[in-house]
Amino acid sequence: MIKRFLILFPIALWMLIQFGCDDTLTVQDVDNREIPDSNVSYQQDIAPIFELKCVSCHGSGRLDAGLDLTRWTAFVDGRIVVPGEPDNSVLVWSIEGNPVVSPMPPIPTPPLTFEQIRGVRTWISEGALNN
Ligand code: HEC
């Protein structure tokens, strides 16, 4: 009896670790998340969107347009993101499909939802903080 337990316990534990704790974010998880109207958090609200919809080309080995969206310090420099000024931020133009820049993300990467675009705008209005 004890012997059988000793064999089964590690197997059960392994299965729990292998299949029980899958915390990989999916596009659906991020699209379903609510973004607050104020006090938007870079870590909680914005970075996960970029992680799933932008970083395949802007970070993680590939740096299209020389743009790295994996680290706040790499892109909040007044060029792509102008803190406090979403209307002057190239990043906002790109996600809103403003024809002066290439629309982002390119098809077939899933586009940002209206809520996500609003969240990015609010985050930049509030100073594009590393919060
Ligand atoms: C499939 C690859 C791909 C994905 C995914 C992607 N981009 Fe891009 N991005 C590019 C390429 C390629 C360029 C250069 C396009 C050009 O110059 O016309 C670019 C350019 C840009 C630029 C302009 C940079 C500049 O210097 O003018 C911004 C801003 C940008 N991307 C933001 C984003 C954001 C935000 C996301 C996610 C919502 C995203 N991109 C997702 C490939 C991608």
- CA-105 nearest atom, ligand 1: 41
Tokens of 100: 């002066």
Using pLDDT thresholds of 50, 70 and 90, give the confidence band for residue 79: very high
Tell me which residue has tokens 């009896």: 1
- Average pLDDT for residues 18-45, to the nearest whole number? 89
* Gap from CA of 48 to ligand 1 centroid (Å): 16
- Average pLDDT for residues 52-61, to the nearest whole number? 94
pLDDT of residue 2: 67
- Average pLDDT for residues 58-77, to the nearest whole number? 95
pLDDT of residue 4: 72
**CA 44-45-50 angle, 5° bins:** 105
Using pLDDT thresholds of 50, 70 and 90, give the confidence band for residue 14: confident
**What is the C-alpha to C-alpha distance for residues 66 and 63, in angstroms, rounded to an integer?**
5
* Gap from CA of 26 to ligand 1 centroid (Å): 20
pLDDT of residue 86: 98
* pLDDT at 7 > cutoff 80: no
- Average pLDDT for residues 10-21, to the nearest whole number? 68
pLDDT of residue 6: 72
